[in-house]
């Protein structure tokens, strides 16, 4: 368990958004959040919305799934949904072939990371990770929506009131399909989107 905890501590060192399209052209940030930071606020979001969800969920299952869903990024790094032109068209977000490559790389990494635990715990966490990837159960869909929502909120905070128009357009659309899973999550996303609409155009 101690070995596993040392390994997953690496999530604190995986920076989100850094060097990605658009973000590299904004003024430098004092600090980029880590994937561990992202996971923490996702967990708080799940706690806040759980009782308001239209459909009941298995909360312990959803929380476990949330906590492990990004662990593979310790090895693979954080894949950018923006792609290499800011539209996301050639990223895993909209390109099925790229999504397949991402899944295969992350599955290999997840197996490697979870193998450091006793077999029963390793299998449990791997199964939860895979269940998230398949997006078939309500828990997986809620966690995915929260994942997208937290990412939108972080992008809005980083933008600090000014964005490239194309980046704003991408951000407004980001996660919209996932948010359909629940009215409360959709409403929260719309509040964040209002923040994007109020941003001014960033001129480099």
Predicted structure pTM score:
0.96
| pLDDT tens digit sequence for 109-139 | 999 999 999 999 999 999 999 999 999 999 9
**Alpha helix stretches (DSSP H) within 10-86:** 35-49, 59-68, 73-76
Task: State mean pLDDT over 157-175.
Answer: 97
User: According to DSSP H, which parts of the chain are helical?
Assistant: 2-8, 35-49, 59-68, 73-76, 96-114, 119-134, 138-159, 165-173, 183-197
Among 3.40.50.720, 3.40.1520.20, 1.10.3210.10, 3.30.1200.10, name the CATH number for the domain at 2-201: 1.10.3210.10
| pLDDT tens per residue across span 40-52 | 999 999 999 999 9
- Assess whether pLDDT exceeds 90 at residue 204: no
């Amino acid at each position: 368990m101690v070995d596993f905890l040392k390994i997953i501590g690496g999530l604190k060192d995986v920076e989100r958004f850094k060097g990605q399209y658009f973000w590299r052209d904004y003024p430098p940030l004092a600090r980029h959040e880590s994937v561990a930071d992202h996971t923490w606020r996702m967990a708080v979001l799940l706690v806040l919305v759980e009782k308001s969800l239209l459909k009941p969920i298995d909360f312990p299952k959803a929380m476990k799934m949330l906590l492990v869903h990004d662990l593979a990024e310790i090895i693979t790094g954080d894949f950018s949904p923006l792609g290499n032109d800011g539209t996301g068209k050639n990223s895993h977000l909209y390109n099925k072939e790229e999504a397949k490559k991402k899944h295969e790389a992350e599955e290999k990494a997840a197996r490697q990371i979870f193998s450091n635990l006793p077999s029963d715990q390793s299998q449990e966490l791997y199964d939860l990770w895979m269940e998230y990837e398949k997006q078939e159960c309500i828990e997986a869909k809620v966690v995915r929506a929260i994942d997208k929502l937290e990412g939108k909120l972080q992008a809005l905070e980083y933008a600090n009131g000014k964005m490239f128009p194309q980046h704003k357009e991408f951000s407004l659309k980001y996660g919209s399909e996932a948010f359909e899973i629940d009215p409360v999550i959709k409403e929260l996303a719309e509040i964040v989107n209002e923040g994007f609409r109020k941003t001014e155009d960033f001129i480099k």
